[in-house]
Amino acid sequence: MRDAARLLPFRRAHSPRDNHPPISAYLIVSGPATSLIAMTQNPVEKTPVTLLGLGAMGTALARTWLAAGHPLTVWNRTPARAAALAAEGARVADTAAEAVAANSLVVLCLLDDTSVDEVLTGTDLTGRDLVNLTTGTPAQARARAAWARERGARYLDGGIMAVPPMIGVPETGGYVFYSGSRELFGRHQDTLGVPAGTTYVGEDAGFAALHDVALLSAMYGMFAGTAHAFALIRRENIDPAALAPLLADWLVAMAPAVHRTADQLVSGDYTDGVVSGLAMQVAGTPTLLSTAEQQGVSPRLLSPYFELMRRRLAEDGSEEDLTGVIDLLVN
Ligand X SMILES: NC(=O)c1ccc[n+]([C@@H]2O[C@H](COP(=O)([O-])OP(=O)(O)OC[C@H]3O[C@@H](n4cnc5c(N)ncnc54)[C@H](OP(=O)(O)O)[C@@H]3O)[C@@H](O)[C@H]2O)c1
User: What does the binding site for ligand X look like in residue numbers (CB under 6 A)?
Assistant: 53-58, 76-78, 81, 109-111, 115, 118-119, 134-135, 160, 163-164
Closest CB 269 distance from ligand X, rounded Å:
37
The long-range contacts involving 92-101, CB below 8 angstroms and separated by at least 24 positions, are: 93/50, 96/52, 96/120, 96/123, 97/122, 97/123, 97/124, 99/50, 99/51, 99/52, 99/73, 99/74, 99/75, 100/50, 100/52, 100/124, 100/125, 100/128
We find the least distance from the C-beta atom of residue 30 to ligand X, in angstroms, to be 28
Handedness of CA 157, 69, 44, 94 (dihedral sign): positive
**Minimum CB distance to ligand X smaller for 36 or for 160:** 160
Of 41, 46, 153, 172, the closest CA to residue 108 belongs to 153
Shortest Å distance, C-beta 116 to ligand X: 8
**Closest distance between ligand X and the C-beta of residue 251, in Å?**
21
Contact present, 82 and 91 (Cβ < 8 Å): no
Query: Sheet containing 129-132: which strands, arranged edge to edge?
Result: 91-92, 72-75, 49-52, 105-108, 129-132, 154-161, 175-180, 197-200
- Nearest to ligand X of 110, 125 (CB atom): 110
Q: Which CB sits closer to ligand X, 43 or 55?
A: 55
Is the Cβ–Cβ distance between 61 and 45 less than 8 Å?
no
Contacts of 102 (CB under 8 A, 6+ apart): 48, 50, 73, 91, 93
Q: How far is the CB of 74 from ligand X (least distance, A)?
A: 10
Closer CB to ligand X, residue 35 or residue 114? 114
Judged by beta carbon, residue 78 or residue 237, the one nearer ligand X is: 78
The size of the chain, in residues, is 331
Task: Return the number of the residue (135 or 181) whose C-beta is nearest ligand X.
Answer: 135
Angle between helix 207-233 and helix 240-254 axes, rounded to 10 deg: 140
- Would you say 118 or 249 has its CB closer to ligand X? 118
In eight-state DSSP terms, residue 108 is E
Nearer to ligand X, 212 or 320 (CB): 212
**Cβ at position 122, least distance to ligand X in Å:** 12
- Shortest distance (Å) from residue 18 CB to ligand X: 30
Instruction: Give the residue at shortest CB distance from ligand X.
Output: 55
Closest to ligand X by CB, 129 vs 157, is 157
Residue 24's CB: how many other CB atoms inside 10 A? 9
The minimum distance between CB 174 and ligand X, in angstroms, equals 9
> DSSP string spanning 224-275?
HHHHHHHHHHTTTT--HHHHHHHHHHHHHHHTTHHHHHHHHHHHS-TTTT-S
Q: To the nearest whole angstrom, how small is the minimum distance from the Cβ of residue 23 to ligand X?
A: 34
